[in-house]
Amino acid sequence: MTFEERMVRSLHVGTMAASDLTGGHDHRTLFQASTIAALLEGRYEGDVTFAELALQGDTGLGTLDELDWEMVALDGEFFRADVDGNVNRIDPAEKTPFAVVVEFDPDRTVELPGPLDRDQALSLLDSEGEDPGPVVAIRIDGEFDRIEARSVPRQKKPYRPLAEVVEGQNVFTIGRCEGTLVGFRFPDWSEGIEVAGYHLHFVDRDRKRGGHVLDFTILEGEASLESSSELNVELPPGVELGSEGVAADVHAAIDKAERG
């Protein structure tokens, strides 16, 4: 079974080229530039600009051209967290080789009475009663005791596979602060197109610190969730969705690159 056939059943997926990004998109449709498998192979050159991305959604995560640090989108603003976790705004003319965004319109909220560590907080999201949907977009606003995050250094050609690049990742801790976690929960079978499970990025309230989140402790907060069953994937030339059943080495590489 191909990804396309599988997705038609539970997640409707459309594909498009960067030249098709004219701005119109349906409510509750997630947009994704390229695939995580392509990123793992070292395709770090973007073909979608942040101006184009902004037309597809106001909330999400990803990276920048040449794997230039971590991206988080919040309230229509796009931020870059550099290798030390320092945050600045992204120029709309810059490009991304991998990003997922949605025009965030949450359908439910979950209180997070802390202190809760990452696993405890995410299991509260898992257990909330309503139909979770194939993909859940997540925003968690709150006060955090600490955020353990990482960012990776900008890459130059010849590009190395992502699993090698993250060996040079910088892991850092953001101390007590208010801020926002932004991300998604994708189903297991979407691994390869996406990172299956939870994938969260962080930016603090002052928009000064952030990154790809490895762990956190939340003292008090609220999660806003939006389920979606529509995903449009922009495929750069030469990138395909592939087949279901991601090879063990790809699983291992995603584990290392995105969950490590």
Contacts with Zn ion by CB under 5 A: the residue count is 1
Instruction: In whole angstroms, give the CA distance from residue 252 to residue 45.
Output: 23
Instruction: For the CB of residue 201, give the shortest distance to Zn ion in the complex, in Å.
Output: 6
Instruction: For the CB of residue 1, give the shortest distance to Zn ion in the complex, in Å.
Output: 28
From residue 177 to residue 216, the character string flagging contacts with Zn ion as x (rule: CB under 5 A) and all else as - is -----------------------------------x----
The alpha carbons of the chain give a radius of gyration, in whole angstroms, of 17
Q: Specify the amino acid at residue 157.
A: K
Task: For Zn ion, give the closer residue by CB, 144 or 202.
Answer: 202
Tokens of 149: 């995050």
Instruction: For the CB of residue 139, give the shortest distance to Zn ion in the complex, in Å.
Output: 15
Q: What angle do CA 169, 87, 60 make, to 5 degrees?
A: 85
Q: Which residue is nearest to Zn ion (CB)?
A: 212
Tokens of 258: 């995105």
Instruction: For the CB of residue 157, give the shortest distance to Zn ion in the complex, in Å.
Output: 22
80 binds Zn ion (CB under 5 A): no
43 binds Zn ion (CB under 5 A): no
Burial class (CB in 10 A: 0-12, 13-18, 19+), 24: exposed
Of 33, 83, 27, 21, whose CA–CA distance to 62 is shortest? 33
- By CB under 5 A, name the binding residues for Zn ion: 212
